[in-house]
Amino acid sequence: MTFEAAAALPHAGVLALQSVRHLRERGQKVLINGAGEFAPVIDRSFRLEETADALASIGAGVLRGKAVVKT
């Protein structure tokens, strides 16, 4: 597993859990296909020196996934 993928796992898992809980609270049924598996979407990884570029990309909305800053 890459550093980028490992960094995105907690957020993706929490988001999936929140979505299921929200639907359940509304009384809807939920079908979970491939339970226990999810794929984080990382658009781009940046070097630490590029943190300003990463923040600018996030602020401009040009990324379709997560940005990861590597040290």
- Sorting pLDDT into bands at 50, 70 and 90, what band is 38? low
Share of the chain above pLDDT 90, in %: 10
12-29: average pLDDT: 77
- Sorting pLDDT into bands at 50, 70 and 90, what band is 37? low
pTM to 2 decimal places:
0.45
Strands 42-47 and 66-70, bridge-based pairing: parallel
The Cα–Cα gap between 15 and 23 comes to: 12
pLDDT on residue 50? 92
Q: What is the mean pLDDT of the chain?
A: 77
The Cα–Cα gap between 55 and 34 comes to: 33
Query: Is residue 49's pLDDT more than 90?
Result: yes
